Structure 1
């Protein structure tokens, strides 16, 4: 009887969660299926969950109207470089704030955390002037350097610091007995144990870089240098109106890396945030 009751409760929970997931799943489903419809069917009422006559014309036009393959590659390699750079900077900074005691440590940490309180819109003009002076406008360098040393890296540093604080001190003491220096303790003891936190930082950083919009439209002007979010706004007709089927097809292609990264690494993401004390 108890087993049957537990099974019933489990089915009830699964049903409730499935219903609760509809508002989150339906927009993605509508986007993907509407990309296979003609424009007249996209806005038909009542809307259809499946296309009546699926067609791939919109996907072909995505690559005909713009150098979308190059733009897709731009977003991919920028997101990868930003993720690697942020992991390096935030893990080093987080370890230093958690394990190295120095004068003014707490004050410096508060100053660093204040970076989270400054909107990107406030700093975009001075950043443009600075990169313009360096001759880096209409290049990808601002999209790589700003996130690595900006607010997203500050959040990553907080996550890494919270994780390193939870590590037992005895691990480092054993390492010192074996003759390890400070960097060796970080590299050989701290970093291998920080895989859950590193996974959480990697996912958040990759998604933030992939979805970055304000900085690309400020720093980039050549279509071949565009990133995907910027490219999505340029699928328009001769009158400047949106090509809805093409935009939905491009958006569906754009969403694939985000969905794959989260589905593959969601367990590490949840575990990493739970171990850093940032859950809830």
Structure 2
């Protein structure tokens, strides 16, 4: 009887989870299937959940109407560079704030955290003037430097600091007895243990860079230098109206790598967030 009740409970829980997942899964399903439909079927009522005649030519048009492959590469390499740069900066800064004692440490950390409270729209004009002075407009440098040294890196520094605070002090004491200095302790002890937190930082940073929209439309003007969020707005007809099936095909190609990375790395992501909350 107890076994039967347990089985029923599991069925009820899984059934409830399936129902609750519908609002999250359906938009993705609609995006993917609508990218294969003629434009006339996309807004049909009742909705057509399965395309009657799948049309794969929409995906070839994504690459023929504009340099989508180049724009895809732009987003990929910028996100990779930003992710690596942010991981490096936040690791050093987070370790310094967590394990090195110096005058004004907590006050300086609070000042750094204030960067999270400043909206990007407030700083975009001064940043534009700054990069214009150095001739970096219509280049990818602003899209790399702003996230690495801006708000995303501040949040990553907070995550890394919280993780490094949770490490036992005995680890550093044992390392000093073995003759390691501060850099050796960081490189050989703290950083390898911080892999879960680094995974969380990497996923957050990659997603932020991949979806970045405001900075590209401000700093970039050449289609071959566009990133994917900016490129998605360019699929319009001769009258300026959206080409829905082609836009959805491009959006599907844009979303797939992010979903794949998150599914593969979700265990490290959750573990990293759990570790960062062990201590204040």
TM-score, structure 2 normalization: 0.98
Q: Aligned residue for 1:182? A: 182
1:174-220 deviations in whole A, cap 9, x for unaligned?
10011111111111000000011000000000000000000000000
Q: Aligned residue for 1:54? A: 54
- Cα distance in 1, alignment partners of residues 278 and 65 from structure 2: 44
Aligned 1:14-25 pairs, distance under 5 A: 14-25=14-25
- Cα distance in 1, alignment partners of residues 200 and 226 from structure 2: 27
Q: CA deviation at 1:14?
A: 1.0
Quote the RMSD (CA, aligned, Å). Answer: 1.0
Q: Aligned residue for 1:250? A: 250
- Cα distance in 1, alignment partners of residues 93 and 18 from structure 2: 41
Q: Does 1:130 align with 2:130?
A: yes
Aligned residues: 279
Aligned 1:1-280 pairs, distance under 5 A: 1-277=1-277
Q: CA deviation at 1:278?
A: 8.1
- Cα distance in 1, alignment partners of residues 136 and 193 from structure 2: 38
SS at match of 2:238: coil
Q: CA deviation at 1:7?
A: 2.1
1:70-116 deviations in whole A, cap 9, x for unaligned?
00000000000000000000011000000000000000000000000
- Cα distance in 1, alignment partners of residues 103 and 56 from structure 2: 63
- Cα distance in 2, alignment partners of residues 5 and 183 from structure 1: 57
- Cα distance in 2, alignment partners of residues 99 and 5 from structure 1: 51
1:129-150 deviations in whole A, cap 9, x for unaligned?
0001111100000000000000
TM-score, structure 1 normalization: 0.98
Q: CA deviation at 1:2?
A: 2.4
Q: Is the 8 A contact 2:200 2:270 kept in 1?
A: yes
- Cα distance in 1, alignment partners of residues 165 and 9 from structure 2: 39
1:218-273 deviations in whole A, cap 9, x for unaligned?
00000000000000000001111100011000000000111011100011111100
Q: Is the 8 A contact 2:160 2:198 kept in 1?
A: yes
Q: Could you list the runs of 4 or more consecutive aligned residues of structure 1 that deviate by over 4 angstroms after TM superposition?
A: none
- Cα distance in 1, alignment partners of residues 256 and 176 from structure 2: 46
- Cα distance in 1, alignment partners of residues 13 and 91 from structure 2: 38
- Cα distance in 2, alignment partners of residues 236 and 204 from structure 1: 31
- Cα distance in 1, alignment partners of residues 278 and 231 from structure 2: 35
1:116-175 deviations in whole A, cap 9, x for unaligned?
000000000000000011111000000000000000000000000000000000000010
Q: CA deviation at 1:11?
A: 1.7
Q: Is the 8 A contact 2:115 2:150 kept in 1?
A: yes
SS at match of 2:234: coil
Structure 1: gaps (5+ residues): none
Q: Is the 8 A contact 2:237 2:243 kept in 1?
A: yes
- Cα distance in 1, alignment partners of residues 202 and 16 from structure 2: 31
